[in-house]
């Protein structure tokens, strides 16, 4: 599996150091004794979410929402919600957590549904990775761990057809390994 990686962009140690910094910022922004509802966008955010939550010493509610927009290496151009209903967050402060901000379509679609349907009192977003490309202003993230080149990456939750999520680092997948 490691042989399928062309280059490691972010080591496990670098990811963990940055999560320490990100967690301190989130904690400072929400440190008022009120619970924060964290909603993970599945499946890619699972490792990021687990490591980030352990670093935030606040009262947290954890929810999840399964959405997808990719098939293999390419976005389908549409966002698919795999569950009919959103998590119950009416009147709550919500932090959406996703693995990567690429085209911005997934984050934008989820934000729109949460704004129109969920009734959160405050909605912010947090991503592990943001690709260095033009992203629509309404699809920006409030918290970004890393900006990366516009390359197809896997590892630490990110996949290619369901594989490579368990790599402890972020790496560029070799072209010949693409589906």
Rounded CA separation 111/63 (Å)? 15
- For 3-34, the pLDDT digits (tens) are 999 999 999 999 999 999 999 999 999 999 99
Active-site residue, selected from the candidate residues 20, 102, 150, 161:
102
Beta strands 5-10; 170-173: pairing state: antiparallel
Highest mean pLDDT among 48-57, 115-124, 139-148 belongs to 48-57
Residue 102 falls in the annotated catalytic set: yes
Residue 141: pLDDT above 70?
yes
- Number of C-alpha atoms within 13 angstroms, CB side, residue 51? 23
Rounded CA separation 17/151 (Å)? 22
Q: Provide CATH code, domain 14-149.
A: 3.40.50.2020
Packed helices 46-53 and 12-30: angle between N→C axes, nearest 10 degrees: 60
* DSSP H helical ranges for 46-164: 46-53, 105-113
Rounded CA separation 91/127 (Å)? 23
């Amino acid at each position: 599996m490691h042989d399928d990686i062309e280059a490691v962009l972010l080591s496990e140690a670098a990811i963990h150091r940055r999560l320490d910094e990100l967690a301190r910022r989130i904690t400072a922004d929400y440190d008022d004794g009120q619970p924060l509802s964290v909603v993970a966008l599945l499946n890619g955010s699972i490792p990021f979410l687990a490591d980030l939550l352990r670093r935030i010493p606040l009262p947290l509610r954890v929810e999840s929402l399964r959405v997808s927009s990719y098939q293999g290496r390419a976005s389908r151009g549409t966002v698919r919600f795999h569950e009919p209903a959103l998590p119950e967050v009416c009147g709550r402060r919500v932090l959406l957590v996703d693995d990567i901000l690429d085209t911005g379509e997934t984050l934008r679609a989820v934000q729109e549904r949460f704004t129109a349907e969920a009734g959160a009192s405050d909605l912010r977003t947090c991503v592990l990775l943001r690709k260095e490309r033009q992203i629509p202003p309404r699809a920006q993230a409030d918290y970004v761990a890393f900006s990366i080149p516009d390359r197809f990456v896997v590892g630490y939750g990110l996949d290619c057809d369901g594989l490579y999520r368990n790599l402890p680092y972020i790496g560029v997948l070799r072209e010949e390994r693409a589906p």
